[in-house]
Amino acid sequence: MIHCQGCHVPDGRGFPGRVPDMRATLPLLLSVEGGRAFLVQVPGSAMSTLTNDRLAATLNWMVRNMADEATISTFTDYTETEVGQMRAVRLEDVFTTRDALIGHLENEHGGSTE
């Protein structure tokens, strides 16, 4: 909550046009190859001051509280080691990568993120 809710708000809905609605995007991202790493590599995650084990715990909490049942049922928790490995890979361009993964994001609650 301290590190992330300023942009993502407590339930993950974000801000239409600026911060994606994670209730919609977590399931999409976790369903495509590379999406699992992307959740760790976005600036908000990777650049945070959270240690790898805290970031893993935060992402696990987010998925388990914000994603849909189907996504949660197939989700395996991030581990500290996994987060460390993914975090070491720096995204060249977050928008290009996200586009390649799931296309332009639609924000269910009011317009796209463009």
Residues that bind ligand HEC (CB under 6 A): 3-4, 6-8, 19-20, 22, 25, 39, 42-45, 48, 50, 58-59, 94, 98
The minimum distance between CB 91 and ligand HEC, in angstroms, equals 9
**Position with the least CB separation from ligand HEC:** 44
**Rounded to 10 degrees, what is the CA torsion of 63, 66, 68, 72?**
20
Tracing tokens 């993950």 back to the chain, one arrives at: 12
Nearer to ligand HEC, 19 or 72 (CB): 19
3-class DSSP state of 15: strand
Comparison of 81 and 95: residue with beta carbon closer to ligand HEC = 95
CB of 27 to ligand HEC, least distance (A): 10
Smaller CB separation from ligand HEC, 42 or 72: 42
Q: Which of 81, 1, 4, 15 is nearest to 43 (CA)?
A: 4
Give, to the nearest 10 degrees, the angle between helix 94-102 and helix 22-30.
70
End-to-end C-alpha distance for the chain, whole angstroms: 25
Q: Which is nearer to ligand HEC, 7 or 70 (CB)?
A: 7
